[in-house]
Amino acid sequence: MLGNDGQMLVDTGKHTGRSPQDKFLVREPGSETHIDWEANKPIAPAVFDALLDRVGHYLDGKDVYAMDCHVGADPRYRLPVRIITEYAWHSLFARDLFIDDADDASESFSPEFTVIDAALFDADPARDGVRSSTVVLVNFARKIILIGGTRYAGEIKKSVFSVMNYLMPLRQVLSMHCSANVGAKNDVAIFFGLSGTGKTTLSSDPHRPLIGDDEHGWSADGIFNFEGGCYAKMIKLSQEAEPEIWAASHRFGAVLENVMFDPQTRVLDLDSAAKTENSRSAYPVDFLPNFVKSGMVNAHPTTIVMLTADAFGVLPPIAKLTPAQAMYHFLSGYTAKVAGTERGVTEPTATFSACFGAPFMVHHPTVYANLLGERIAKHEATCWLVNTGWTGGGYGVGQRMKIAYTRAMVNAAIDGKLNGVEYEPEPFFGLAIPKTVPDVPSEVLNPRNAWSDTAAYDAQARKLAALFEENFRRFEAHAAPDILAVAIHA
């Protein structure tokens, strides 16, 4: 239904997020040697072909919606995609999220990939040879993505991102799960981070036009957005703290998934997680007041920010990274789930997702890491670790770092205001913490000082360091000596 401000309000049913256990890549000779099969699940071509045939029969005679669009703002690397959906609102979602070139719409459009999204089709595991009634299948040989059994539209976006993550490194383009913006001096900043760490929020800056909020390529010439829209988390969205995202989500054309609202007035209740914590808003990038219309900047990042939401309350709110440390944290991809988000979770739970997007990375993580390392070295980008999570204690004891403080720290880093300040060493993770940051109280900068019980902080820090050490063991055989030299040990 339509919300009070004209948004499309949709309920995605039992699937309120992605179904990673139901995503498979077709194992075929043309692509299998490039794919990291430790992280990606294979499926036989015959299984795919049979399911595609079944979906074809299922859709026969039904009204379906076709959307022709592009992925990748740079014409040299863009991918023409045709998206066929069972739901009209899924087609609107695709129109909001991808690049809709109205001038290119013609009978001559030739898609290089086709997405077939049969949201209400249920697979039969016993008959079809899949795990459940939900399927997300990517076939690089036939250039088809087949989605069924889920109404969650994010599967469309993320499966297309997986395709770009396969294609771009083969052309020496680093594909990244990150947001990006640019300043008046053509200074590009990119923000890596998992869901909930603040990529969209921190990159939406009234003084720095947005290039894109989630998925980018870094070519030999600069940065370009893969998308034409944004997919922002809505839970507890604040009009005061995040005015651009709030305004974009309160207008006709935006698609809001699983957001609670008053059934009489249709006014949104963004504080309610009654349906899910993962409520989302999809809207075109031109709904924002300040964005790069072309979606690309012929300049290389001068600032790289790696975001984490540390629910242990251990990591500093900002720390400067050496290039080797940046590579280490890129491969680690750390954030944390908070207590209470899942049954049985009574304390923060560490989550490590290589390249800050492991479910969407098709090649081995070191392929992306090596490309990033080459670019950091060549363009002398300054790297930072920023914790948007808890301070003064872990979740339930401390408090979440104020967005205003995080913005001030990130802005100071981008503007070069931290270049001349004094730094102090952090003993557990080998980080360099600035002693002063403009407009930020100095007492919040060193996390140990923010805890009332420093012995408890030390114990929690050792615990988190041990989790880092355990996770990184799988990369030790592949990592370069300079990265191994800065690896964290408990």
Task: Report the catalytic residues.
Answer: 18, 158, 177, 195, 199-200, 214, 280
Contact 314, 461 (CB under 8 A): yes
Phi, psi of 197 (to 5 degrees): -95, -15
What's the CA gap between 333 and 148, in Å, rounded?
29
Phi, psi of 226 (to 5 degrees): -80, -25
Tokens of 114: 């086709």
Contact 99, 295 (CB under 8 A): yes
Amino acid, res. 428: F
CA-based radius of gyration for the chain: 22
Amino acid, res. 419: N
C-alpha pair distances (Å), 59 with each of 47, 110, 160, 168: 18, 22, 21, 32
Tokens of 426: 């952090």
Which helix (DSSP H) or strand (DSSP E) does residue 404 occupy? helix 403-414
- Picking from 215, 73, 76, 219, the residue whose alpha carbon sits closest to that of residue 157 is 215
DSSP one-letter string for 255-311: EEES-EE-TTT--EETT--SS-S--EEEEEGGGSSSB-TTSEESS-EEEEEEEE--T
Contact 190, 223 (CB under 8 A): yes
